[in-house]
Structure 1
Amino acid sequence: MTSVVVTGASGRLGRAVTARLAAEGFEVRALSRTRRADAGGVRWAVADLATGRGVAGAVADSDAIVHLASAPYRGRYTRRVELDGTGALLAGARATRTGQLIYLSIVGVDRVPWGYYRTKLAAERLVRDGGVPWTTLRVTQFHEFAAEILAGMARLGAVVADPGIPVQPVDVRDVAGHLASLIRRGPSGEVEEYGGPEVLTMAEAARLWLDSRRSRRPLLRMRVPGRLGRAFRAGHLTTPAGPAGKITWQEYLAGQDEGSP
C-alpha cells in the first residue's frame, strides 16, 4: 500500500485530499501541529513546519509527500512555513528516500507582482533543487476563496468587480482527484497547471454569486489599478492547461446554503 504524507491536512483542500486518498486505498498520514484522533482511514502525526519539530519522524518511511500547507499574509510566519517548512520536508524526504514530493502552488505565481506569490515561487525553487523527485502543481483559485472574497465585500454594502479580469475558479474536490492521479503517475520534475472548467469575468462570477444568494447588494464595476490590475487583466490567474476540473462555479454555488449577507 502506498504511504502518503499530507501537510496542510486540516485545511479546505487538505480535508478533501485526505478523504479522497483514503477512499482510494492509500495509507494516509496527515500532519498537524496538535495531536488529533485517527479517523476515516487517516492517521495523524504531530509536526510543526514552522520550527521543523517532528517533521523528520512524521515523513519517515513514506512513499510520497503532498505538500499543501500554507500560511498566507502572516509576515515572517508565512516565510517560516513556506520556506523553512518546505526545506525541513525535503530534508526528511531525502533521509528516508521518499519517492516523490508534490508541491501545491498557484497559477500566476511567476507573473503576478504580489509578495505572497514571490514567497511561493521561492518555495518552488527549493522543491526543484531539493534532491527529491518532484512535481509542482499550480492551481487556480478555489471556489471557497472566491466566495469568501465576495462575501467580505458584500458585508461592506456592495460587491466590486473588474469586468476585465478573467477568473477560473476550481473545486477542491477536483483538485483532490487530480492530486491522487499525480501520485499514481509519479514525479514529472515539471511545473504543471490545473484550473477550473470555465473562464468567467470577475463581474460574471460576482453576478452569479449574488444571484445564488438572492442578494440585493449592488454590483459595482471598477478597474483594479496599477501593475496588479494589469497582471490580472492579462489573464495570469487562468490557465489553458488540461485536464481541467469538472465542477463549475454555478454548480458549486448551487450546493451552498442560501442566504444573503
Structure 2
Amino acid sequence: MSTILVTGGTGTLGRLVTERLRAQGHQARVLSRHAQPYAVDLRQGGPVLEAAVEGVDTVVHCASGPRGGDEEAAAHLIAAARRAGVGHLVHISIVGVDRVPFGYYRAKLAVERMVEESGLGWTVLRATQFHDLVATVLGSLAKLPVLLLPAGVSDQPVEASEVADRLAALATGAPAGRVEDLGGPEVRTFPELAHAYLAATGRRRRVVSVPLFGKAYRSFRAGGHLTPAHAVGTGTFEEYLTARTGSGADGGGLGGAAGRGR
C-alpha cells in the first residue's frame, strides 16, 4: 500500500479523501495549518513540510483559499515534493478556471500550470462547486429580508463525497494528466437553488434577481463555470439539504455543515 499526503486534510474535501484512502489500507498523512504532526502553513513552507513529504509516494493537493496565497503554497509544496522524490501530484481545481476571469479562478489556473510544469508525475481534476458552498452562499444571502441573486446565472453543484471518491481513485492510480471534469447531476438556476434552500430551512424570503456588471459576471452568466457534458455526479442539491437538515423541512444543523465549503 502507498503513503499518501493530503494537503488541506481537515477540510471538507481533504477529510473525505483521507477517510477513503485509509479505508483502502493506505497510509494517509494529513497536512493542514493545525493538524499535528504535520501542522504547517503551506504559504510559508519550512521543515515540517519537508518532513511531511518524506517517504511519500503521492500528494493529493486539496488545500486552497479564496483569500490568496495559493500560488505561494503550491510553489513550496512542489519544491518539497521534488526534493523528496514524490512520484505523483494530484491537484483538485475548479471547472471554468480558464474561462471565467474571476480572481480566485485565475489563481487556481496558475496553480494548474505550476503542477503541469513541475517535473513531477501529475493529475488534475476540475470539479464544479460543492453543495456545501452553494448552501453557505445562500445562507449568507438569506440573512436579509430579500434574497438577492445574480440575474441569469445557473450552477451545477456536486456532492463533495463524489469528488472525494474520484480523487482517491486517481491518487491510487498512475499520473493521468488533465482528466475529465466532474460536474453535478443538474444545471440549476440560482432561483431554483434558493427556493430549495429556503424550503429546507423553513425560511420565507422574497427572491429577487439583480443584473450585475463586469467580465466575470458575463462569463458566469454564459455558463463558463458549468460542464453539462460531464454531469456525472448523482447527488442532487435537495438530497444534500435533506441529509443535512434531517427532514428537509427545517434548518437544524445546516448552517454548521455548510460553513466548510471548498
TM-score by length of 1: 0.89
Ranges in structure 2 where 5+ consecutive residues have no aligned partner: 256-262
Q: Show the counterpart of 1:132.
A: 120
Note the 1:115-130 alignment, pairs <5 A: 115-130=103-118
Shift of residue 243, structure 1, vs aligned partner:
6.8
Amino acid corresponding to residue 64 of structure 1 in structure 2:
T
Name the CA distance, whole Å, in 2 between partners of 1:196 and 1:4: 27
Partner deviation per Cα, 1:17-48 (whole Å, 9 max, x = no partner): 11122122221000123353xxxxxxx52333
2:170 to 159, 164, 182: 182
Shift of residue 96, structure 1, vs aligned partner:
2.3
Q: Does 1:46 align with 2:39?
A: yes
Name the CA distance, whole Å, in 2 between partners of 1:88 and 1:173: 28
Shift of residue 201, structure 1, vs aligned partner:
1.1
Shift of residue 240, structure 1, vs aligned partner:
3.2
Amino acid corresponding to residue 211 of structure 1 in structure 2:
A
Name the CA distance, whole Å, in 1 between partners of 2:187 and 2:35: 40
Aligned residues: 248
Q: Does 1:148 align with 2:124?
A: no
1:68 to 55, 62, 70: 62
Q: Show the counterpart of 1:199.
A: 187
Amino acid corresponding to residue 2 of structure 1 in structure 2:
S
Ranges in structure 1 where 5+ consecutive residues have no aligned partner: 37-43
Q: Show the counterpart of 1:99.
A: 87
- Say which SS state the counterpart of residue 135 (structure 2) adopts: helix
- Say which SS state the counterpart of residue 102 (structure 1) adopts: strand
Q: Show the counterpart of 2:260.
A: none
Q: Show the counterpart of 1:227.
A: 215
Partner deviation per Cα, 1:105-133 (whole Å, 9 max, x = no partner): 11111111111211111111111101111
Cα separation, partners in 2 of 1:94 and 1:154, compared to 1, 3 Å: same
Question: What is the aligned-residue identity percentage?
Answer: 43
Shift of residue 241, structure 1, vs aligned partner:
4.8
Q: Which moved more, 1:143-152 or 1:194-203?
A: 194-203
Amino acid corresponding to residue 51 of structure 2 in structure 1:
G
Tell whether the 8 Å contact from 1:17 to 1:176 is kept in structure 2 after alignment: yes
Tell whether the 8 Å contact from 1:47 to 1:58 is kept in structure 2 after alignment: no
Amino acid corresponding to residue 26 of structure 1 in structure 2:
H
Structure with greater contact order relative to length (CA < 8 Å, sep ≥ 6): 2
TM-score by length of 2: 0.88
Tell whether the 8 Å contact from 1:194 to 1:241 is kept in structure 2 after alignment: no
Cα separation, partners in 2 of 1:123 and 1:29, compared to 1, 3 Å: same
Q: CA RMSD in A?
A: 1.8
1:114 to 81, 85, 102: 102
Cα separation, partners in 2 of 1:244 and 1:198, compared to 1, 3 Å: same
Tell whether the 8 Å contact from 1:107 to 1:138 is kept in structure 2 after alignment: yes
